[in-house]
Structure 1
Amino acid sequence: MIPTVLASVTSTYLAYLTVTVGGPLLVVAALARYRGGLRTPVDALGVGVLMVIAFSYTFAWDGYLIERGVWWYGEGVVTARVSGIPIGELAFFLLQTALTGLWLYVIDPSPDPSRPTAVRSRPVGLLSIVGLELAGLVLFYTSSGYYLGYILLWGMPIVGFLWVLGGPLIWRLRRPVALAILVPTVYLWIVDRVAIGLGLWTISPTHSTGFQVFGLPVEEMAFFLLTNVLVVFGLVLYQWVVARTDRHDLVEGFRGLVPRGGVGKPPGEE
């Protein structure tokens, strides 16, 4: 019985994701609804909007990497494709975003709607992001660094944009933010490592560095970490805008995202 169930779960990419990501997603959604911060349709809207953005931003990038042969899939594990991308992969864009976003609501950081006072986190963080972007540019023009470089070139500009908007806020919430990022990232590392071991997909040795941690390529580790950073940063800023809108109005909610030379009013002055 058990071997039959395992064979069914690993028979296709889509079946594997349904069990390993779809199942935990239902659990996390229930926790977010009854014990966390998913209280209103506005909260759910934030996750939905991020799912649409993640799908749109990743679609062409992912399809290009598949076309270049940066990774490929096992025999018979792809049930159908859209523009060369397996439907399981398309589903994963949505599933990962929902899983990480709802996990943030389980943690429920509840951002303070006041603007953080000026901190050095914004320029220091931005310099780090620029450094990673430049490293990605260098890696992109090498054969073995191509995949890792393309990940950094694709993702770091958005991280930089979100950091410019909300670096002080994210830094103020750094502990729950780190927890929101790391838990789903480590889980997805495990899911990905098992899938590679089962032969569901293979990372090209030509376009990857060959560095691995417990058999998981560092490129895959970087991808899941970076994408979860994008989800959590984006949703934290969304929560903050909603909180500011509730306290003030919609205009002031969005105005809070505009940096004031890195300076905000002390809590309680807005």
Structure 2
Amino acid sequence: MKALRHTSIGDALGIGLILAVAIFSLLLLVAPSIIVLIISFDTRAYVSFPPEGFTLQWYAKVFEHGELPVAMWNSIKVGLMVTALCIVLGVPTALTCARGRFRGTTALSVFVLVPHMVPGIVLGVAVLFSGALVGISPSIWLQSISITAFILAVMVRTVQSRLLRLDPALEEAAANLRATPFQSLRTVTFPLLLPAILAGAVFTFVEGFDNISVAIFTHGFRDRTLPIELLTLVQYTSSPLVAAVSGIQILLAIAALVVVSMSIGLDKVNE
């Protein structure tokens, strides 16, 4: 009885410690974003906490600022191009890695993962120098391609994880019904992959929209995205305008998660 009592106490202490660490970690992750959002509504013309009042003027000034709306539109274009490239390249790659029957599948998986493991700054410099060697100047296209190479593994791993959880009997049943491999892919596999593809698309769009480590070396002078413009803005002003821009990016990320949650459910991404 004493041994059982000591065991139950130890389990309770362990669970309590894990819960405390989880809550503390969550606060460290969430608290800075909440503070930035609160500051973006402050009535004062400088960054300070806690705020003295509530106003939406800084969000209005974001769209009145000459460069910020252009930078926001550039970020949206980069995010959409990165998402499209990741879907076109990532889904077939995931299918090949998960269903491929040749020796190079493992090497292909590692090859896709390597750019994601390299620091973004290193990849950005490498793409910048490589583009210069072949006469390609920094532009929105070079920026999109470099970010795609950096985060393609996100789409591949998301779709591949879903593929590995699919019941092979479904595809075998389609084959037994004389469906061709393409018909089986179109009518059975692809519909089951849609939740993972949508989740990967949302994550890659947010990363393409927010990326700065790669984009800072590959963007053109006229193609500065919102994070780069925000970095420039921080150097010259300390007004809550900076917090308002950050608040828009935070709200965009939250909206993306809400879209995934309402459409497929976060718990179904890797089912």
TM-score, normalisation: structure 1: 0.25
Radius of gyration: which is bigger? Answer: 2
TM-score, normalisation: structure 2: 0.25
Between structures 1 and 2, the one with greater strand share: 1
